[in-house]
Structure 1
Amino acid sequence: MITEQLIREISNEHLEGTEMFLISVKVSTSNVITVTIDGDHPIDISDCIALSRHIEGKFDREVEDFALSVMSAGIDQPYVNIRQYIKNIGRDVEVTLHDGGIHKGILLSVNEEIITLKEKTTKKGKKTTAAASEEGTKISFSEIKQTKEIISFK
């Protein structure tokens, strides 16, 4: 039986020692397997193909059929791993808190407990950096519901 845990183990075996890491694994009741990966550097199609072949090599389709899709984390997807935060230091992000609050700004730093943002405010239609705190706004991971990169087409 193909399980999420088994796919996680097989994927992590392949990714160990690389700059890539597992984001998510989903296995449907009809054995449709979806694996999402990310990396400290951009993921390309050859990375996805290599992992797909590694996973496929562990199973026999004659015994149990499955459909497999391996993809990189999309730019519009929320961060789910501290390594995604670290890789995106210096980028504009939107942080949604569990209490419904929203913070937008430049991700300045990340550690195991908090992130620090240089927040932006809007004044008369123009974005300006808030000067409320020179150190930035510190937000605990326990307060964060989700964080996404703000995509700008300037």
Structure 2
Amino acid sequence: MSTTQSDRLRGLLEPLVSAKDLDLEEIEVSRAGRRRVLRIVVDSDEGVELDACAELSRAVSELLDESDAMGEDEYVLEVTSPGAERPLTELRHYRRATGRLARLQLHDGGEVVARIIEADEEGIDTEIPGVKGRKPTARRIAFAEIAKARVEIEFSRKDGKNEITQDDRDDILNDIQNEEEA
């Protein structure tokens, strides 16, 4: 998709998506045989339910029919959420992934698999799971250190917890602060 078309579609669709309290994450136009596929990826802090995608799809379809943004050729419209193993590229993605396990590829070539405890403008506070009976360790990772990041799928947590409690979060943040002061 050309930058001009991408910018035009984003400019056209962003107000509509925002009005539905959603974030427009991605717009992609690709070929599928003779047809084009317009894929719109949306998200929110609470996630996106199927009904919200269907409602947005109808509204986007009407808006595109009224404009010439897609031209005269046929296309298939897909409105979807980012998926379970989404890449983390924006601060809001890291904040939404709080409590989740993430695989972080670092610019220095290293890789870290850690639970995101908290995210701010400079980076993330993480808990690196303990291995072979060792205790988990806290680590602060600046965004400048991260080359790529992706949420990891967890089918079952070994500790039986479904989410990090506020007390757990406070303990981990205290550990990070104590390590930085040491």
Same structural fold, with TM-score higher than 0.5 when normalized by the shorter chain: yes
Local SS of the residue matching 1:128? coil
Out of 146, 149, 152, which is 1:147 matched to?
Answer: 149
Q: Deviations over 1:5-28 (max 9, x none)?
A: 222223311222554212211123
Whole-angstrom distance in 1 between the partners of 2:75 and 2:18: 24
1:129 pairs with 2:131 = no
The count of aligned residue pairs is: 147
Whole-angstrom distance in 2 between the partners of 1:50 and 1:81: 26
Partner of 2:44: 39
* Residues 79-90 of structure 1: pairs in structure 2 closer than 5 A: 79-90=88-99
TM (normalized to structure 2)? 0.69
Amino acid at match of 1:120: P
The alpha-carbon deviation at position 85 of structure 1 amounts to 1.0
Which 5+ residue runs of structure 1 have no aligned equivalent? 131-135
Partner of 1:57: 62
Whole-angstrom distance in 1 between the partners of 2:126 and 2:95: 13
Partner of 2:103: 94
Local SS of the residue matching 1:31? strand
1:70 pairs with 2:79 = yes
Change (3 A) 1:19 1:82: farther
Partner of 1:104: 113
Contact 2:104 2:149 in 1 (8 A): yes
If each structure's strand is expressed as a fraction of its own residues, which one has the higher value? 1
Change (3 A) 1:127 1:36: farther
The alpha-carbon deviation at position 76 of structure 1 amounts to 1.4
Whole-angstrom distance in 2 between the partners of 1:3 and 1:70: 18
The alpha-carbon deviation at position 142 of structure 1 amounts to 2.3
Change (3 A) 1:35 1:62: closer
Local SS of the residue matching 2:63? coil
Partner of 1:28: 30
Partner of 2:16: 14
Change (3 A) 1:18 1:83: farther
Bigger radius of gyration among the two: 2
Alpha-carbon RMSD across the aligned residues, in angstroms, is 2.5
If each structure's helix is expressed as a fraction of its own residues, which one has the higher value? 2
Amino acid at match of 2:108: D
The alpha-carbon deviation at position 109 of structure 1 amounts to 1.2
